[in-house]
Amino acid sequence: MRFFVSLCVLAPAATFGADAVYFNGKVVTLSSSTKIAQAFLVEGNRFAKVGGNQDVLKAAKPGTARIDLKGRTVVPGLNDSHTHPIGAAMAEQEGILPVMTSIDDVKEYVKKIANSTPSGKLIFVPKVYSTRLRERRYPTRHDLDAVSGEHEAMTDNSYASVLNSKLLKRLGIDRNTPQPSNGKIIKDDKGEPTGLVLGAQQLLGPLRASRAFTYDERLSGLRKMQAAYNRVGITSTGDRGQGPDGFRLYQDLKQRGQMTVRTAVTYLIQANGKPEDVAKRVEAIPFTTGWGDEWLRVGPLKTVVDGGILIGTAYLREPYGMNTQVYGYVDPDYRGVVNVPRENLIAMARTANKLGWQMTSHTTGGGAIDLLLDAYDEANKEKPIKGRRFTVTHGNFPNADAIEKAARLGVVFDCQPQWHHFDGPALAPVFGPERTKWFLPLRAMHDAGIVVAGGSDHMIKYDPRLSINAYHPFYAMWMTITRKTSDGNVLGPEQRITREEALRMWTVNGAYLTFEEKLKGTIEPGKLADFAVIDKDFFAVPEDEIKSIEPVRTVVDGKVVYDTGALAGQ
């Protein structure tokens, strides 16, 4: 594990900017003592003083740069608690992916790629979800055949793939192919494959793995994606799933002095085999949560309990029911996928707790949340976990019992409102009114005292609002404040939260999840000088203008990493 040896001793990645005093602004500090200030002083990479114009200007040393904010609002540096920046960058390594909201959009893109793709190369379209297509279904092989020419082609979302006829033929999939034990080949009324294949990793895995990228391409992509995050005010993030290779990339970027987003990297493991195998796997990792420094640190230990709500594999408390056509199947008794047996999850939680790890897991369905909280509860019986900030990642459907248990155990949540916004219109009929009442119940969670951090689960594209999933923090805050979905309706209005609570999800709460609330998340003397100057007053603009707020300057570690020129000449 040589990749981590020097993580704790390297110098800060970004060089310090000049000392500066910002005045004549509306500074949203989010501190308990002074919530709104006029000015603040940055010395080196820390806030030195926060308060009124006169006092802060008086404290500035001769030669300190003076920046007149002219009434602009300043917020603490924004923290997206859940991103996948390396994979997101690689998705557009070969060109910009268009936004696809219909099957015609998918066909148009495949046709364009077919015209420029060398013969014999697979056309691969990532992250196509039927919940985000107007038709509320996947394309068929016939749709792809019409535009793919002589190429093999497929759409994919890591579980459900649509293969064109040429690719089906090469793989030997036809009307006589038996159903795989770990998936389903969807067939039409005549018994012919439609092209849709669910699960069956042994069939689809090699196709997904065929899109390999070099180390330098991945490193360059990470650097560019961090710059993209800076442009929307993001100064910290949690990369929610890496192994040794991913850690090496981050360490390399840091050694080169090119990191511009502070990152807590989650260590992802497979919790398969026997419980004792899982325990040994955790014990073999030569570090634990918190190793690192203010730029790069080890985050939680993670596994994947279930599937996803967008693909119909989230593990529910009760069967999905009859309204699952959007996923490409109908199975009234189906509850979803459980990847990790209960005993393994308990072994992982107990071992993580014993060794000092913070733990989390991908849990999208209510049944998966219950399994994870049960495992945390078992670990808690051996040694209290309160204060370890064990986490529920995603946690789309916590009911009243789950919320009560999480609050009792001190469990925190890493939530993504993007799924509620973009997919709510398609998913509400699937889950029905009773379950939909507990779709991202932020009000109930806040009222119970649970710390909820805001994240995007950004996986595809550079564009902050058009990517999967949109990672623009103010867009996401607007989602939590209004509960508006992509069709313009409001889903679960009783679960709205306030503007301050939303801002805290992307600042203070994100810092809390990584045990860094004493370092960042607010604008206070002694804390790291991470902040964003924005073009509108977050607390005063009409509600629907929150989603269009943009930074005019982003500062990390006292250094300007993004600037529109709005503060030019100062």
Asked, for residue 568, whether it belongs to a domain, the answer is no
Same domain, 307 and 194: no
Q: How far apart are CA 54 and CA 18, in angstroms?
A: 21
Same domain, 308 and 369: yes
CATH at residue 63: 2.30.40.10
Same domain, 301 and 355: yes
Last residue of a domain, one of 150, 176, 209: 209
Q: What is the pLDDT of residue 570?
A: 53
Asked, for residue 90, whether it belongs to a domain, the answer is no
Asked, for residue 398, whether it belongs to a domain, the answer is yes
Q: What is the pTM of this model?
A: 0.94
Name the residue range of residue 68's domain: 2-77+525-563
Nearest 10 degrees: CA dihedral of 38, 39, 45, 48? -110
Q: Which two tokens stand for residue 486?
A: 């992509």
Q: How far apart are CA 500 and CA 75, in angstroms?
A: 11
When divided into structural domains, the chain yields a total of: 3
Same domain, 248 and 283: yes
Same domain, 418 and 283: yes
What does the pLDDT profile of the chain (570 residues) look like in tens digits?
A: 333 333 333 333 443 467 999 999 999 999 987 899 999 999 999 999 999 999 999 999 999 999 999 999 999 999 999 999 999 999 998 889 999 999 999 999 999 999 998 888 899 999 999 999 999 999 999 999 999 999 999 999 999 999 999 999 999 999 999 999 889 999 999 999 999 999 988 988 888 887 789 999 999 999 999 999 999 999 999 999 999 999 999 999 999 999 999 999 999 999 999 999 999 999 999 999 999 999 999 999 999 999 999 999 999 999 999 999 999 999 999 999 999 999 999 999 999 999 999 999 999 999 999 999 999 999 999 999 999 999 999 999 999 999 999 999 999 999 999 999 999 999 999 999 999 999 999 999 999 999 999 999 999 999 999 999 999 999 999 999 999 999 999 999 999 999 999 999 999 999 999 999 999 999 999 999 999 999 999 999 999 999 999 999 999 999 999 999 999 755
Q: How far apart are CA 295 and CA 518, in angstroms?
A: 15
Last residue of a domain, one of 153, 186, 209: 209
Same domain, 445 and 420: yes
Same domain, 167 and 260: no
CATH at residue 192: 3.10.310.70
Q: What is the pLDDT of residue 427?
A: 97
CB-based contacts of 556, cutoff 8 Å, min separation 6: 14, 77, 230, 235, 260, 261, 262, 530
Same domain, 102 and 243: no
Q: What is the pLDDT of residue 100?
A: 96
Same domain, 321 and 418: yes
Last residue of a domain, one of 186, 209, 232: 209
Same domain, 114 and 257: no
CATH at residue 382: 3.20.20.140
Q: Which of 183, 138, 179, 180 is nearest to 162 (CA)?
A: 138
Same domain, 505 and 529: no
Same domain, 408 and 496: yes
Asked, for residue 110, whether it belongs to a domain, the answer is yes
Q: Which of 167, 155, 166 is nearest to 198 (CA)?
A: 155
CB-based contacts of 533, cutoff 8 Å, min separation 6: 22, 25, 69, 72, 73, 74, 551, 552, 553, 554, 566, 567
Q: How far apart are CA 156 and CA 128, in angstroms?
A: 6
Q: Which two tokens stand for residue 380?
A: 């808690």
Asked, for residue 88, whether it belongs to a domain, the answer is no
Q: Which of 299, 321, 302 is nearest to 312 (CA)?
A: 321
Give how far the C-alpha of residue 307 lies from the chain's centroid of Cα atoms, to the nearest Å: 15
